[in-house]
Amino acid sequence: MSHRIVYDLIAVRFPAEILRTHIDHHQFYADCFMAFELGGDNNLYIHRGTGEQRARSWDVLALGRDWEVMRQVVTYAASCEGGGMRLSGARHTQAETYIRRYRQAVADATTPETIEAAGIGCAVALKIATTDLPDWRAKDLAALRTFGRASEADGIVSVELSPLRDMAHAAALFAWHHLDERPVYNKMRVHGDGYERTPISKRLPAAAQRALAV
């Protein structure tokens, strides 16, 4: 049976006090997080070098305050119980094990500068339909359009953000990403080597030194 294999995961912390300097939003009473996961289908392969490897890629699977991230993680964890997802190296993964890994990742969350220095990038494209918008959504959309790069076509506003490189963009993402009703992983494109043998958490100390040197 086809199932998802999770190879690696990490969380990034965005301090509330910094987010508040860019947007005075009710959500920023606590730090916010983005949860990155490296995964792929067990029966999907690509050619690499002289052989084949399972295809894998980085995605952002959850964002928000810690409890919001964990709420989304718990939803994904249900797939483990039916055999639809497992951690790499395990024949079967219990939902509690998957949740525990993320709880620890959030507790040990790194900084945007460090994850970029480790080779992970993230581009956001929020897409919001402008037809029949209630007043409060129209007001939020107008505010969102002042950040990043905005364009409009066929009644859809697209706003591009770079949350790892610009804390103002990060604040806009956390404040108004709900305007785009698609799943989180469909709003973002993550760049990074999915075939690095060393887990990203073990590459962070050296990456942190590189980030400080910039």
Per-residue pLDDT tens digits for 48-70: 777 788 899 999 999 999 999 99
The pLDDT, as a whole number, for residue 211 is: 63
* Residues linked to residue 90 through DSSP beta bridges, in sequence order: none
**In angstroms, rounded to a whole number, what is the distance separating the alpha carbons of residues 160 and 129?**
15
Q: Tell me the two tokens of residue 91.
A: 């024949």
User: Domain coordinates of the chain in residue numbers?
Assistant: 4-114, 121-187
User: pLDDT grade, residue 200 (50/70/90)?
Assistant: confident
- 4-29 mean pLDDT: 94
The pTM of this model reads 0.91
The pLDDT, as a whole number, for residue 199 is: 84
- 7-30 mean pLDDT: 94
Q: Tell me the two tokens of residue 57.
A: 């890629």
The pLDDT, as a whole number, for residue 158 is: 97
User: pLDDT grade, residue 209 (50/70/90)?
Assistant: low
User: pLDDT grade, residue 214 (50/70/90)?
Assistant: low
**In angstroms, rounded to a whole number, what is the distance separating the alpha carbons of residues 8 and 13?**
17
- 125-140 mean pLDDT: 93
Task: Answer whether residue 31 shows pLDDT above 80.
Answer: yes
| Inter-residue contact 19 to 171 (CB < 8 Å) | yes
Sort residue 116 into left (φ over 0), alpha (ψ -120 to 50) or beta. alpha
Q: Is 199 helix (H, G, I), strand (E, B) or coil?
A: coil
| Inter-residue contact 17 to 55 (CB < 8 Å) | no
